[in-house]
């Protein structure tokens, strides 16, 4: 199994823990869009307790990548996603972004 496949499998396992059955094609596309950062310890994780981190997720992924600009919608989806992942100490960025994409209905951005 390649390193990429390992990351995708771990992300799918983490999504399963929050009750989401991941679509492999979409999960791979989201992982690929993150580039080599998925292999870096700190960059591959998301911290819901870090406001600066959530602001980066908002600016660099939700707004720039997904094209969502409604601040109330963004806050609502971030809160819902953080709540879903609350029992997972090390939230994988790939899994976290997958959840955001599904919640916002932006799967077409990765087709």
pLDDT in tens, 16-40: 999 999 999 999 999 999 999 999 9
pLDDT digits (tens, 9 = 90+) for 49-76: 999 999 999 999 999 999 999 999 999 9
Total domains in the fold of the chain: 1
Q: What is the pLDDT of residue 16?
A: 98
Could you write out the DSSP letters of every residue in 1-28? --HHHHHHHHHHHHHHHTT----HHHHH
Q: Kindly state whether residue 85 falls inside one of the protein's structural domains.
A: yes
Domain range for residue 74?
A: 3-105
Q: Kindly state whether residue 111 falls inside one of the protein's structural domains.
A: no
Q: Kindly state whether residue 110 falls inside one of the protein's structural domains.
A: no
Is 1's pLDDT higher than 90? no
CB 95 within 8 A of CB 14: yes
Query: Which CATH number covers residue 48?
Result: 1.10.238.120
Is 6's pLDDT higher than 90? yes
Question: Which residue in this structure is represented by tokens 């959530």?
Answer: 54
Which of 100, 101, 97, 103 lies closest to 111, judged by CA?
101
pLDDT digits (tens, 9 = 90+) for 90-104: 999 999 999 999 999
Which of 64, 83, 84 lies closest to 16, judged by CA?
84
Q: Kindly state whether residue 60 falls inside one of the protein's structural domains.
A: yes
Q: Kindly state whether residue 16 falls inside one of the protein's structural domains.
A: yes
């Amino acid at each position: 199994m390649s390193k990429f496949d390992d990351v995708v499998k771990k992300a799918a396992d983490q999504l399963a823990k929050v009750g989401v059955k991941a679509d492999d094609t979409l999960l791979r596309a989201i992982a690929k869009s993150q580039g080599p950062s998925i292999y870096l310890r700190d960059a591959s994780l998301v911290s819901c307790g870090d406001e600066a981190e959530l602001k980066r997720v908002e600016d660099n992924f939700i707004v720039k990548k997904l094209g969502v600009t409604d601040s109330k919608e963004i806050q609502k989806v971030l809160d819902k996603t953080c709540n879903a992942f609350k029992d997972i100490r090390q939230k994988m960025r790939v899994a976290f972004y997958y959840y955001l994409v599904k919640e916002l209905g932006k799967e077409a951005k990765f087709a």
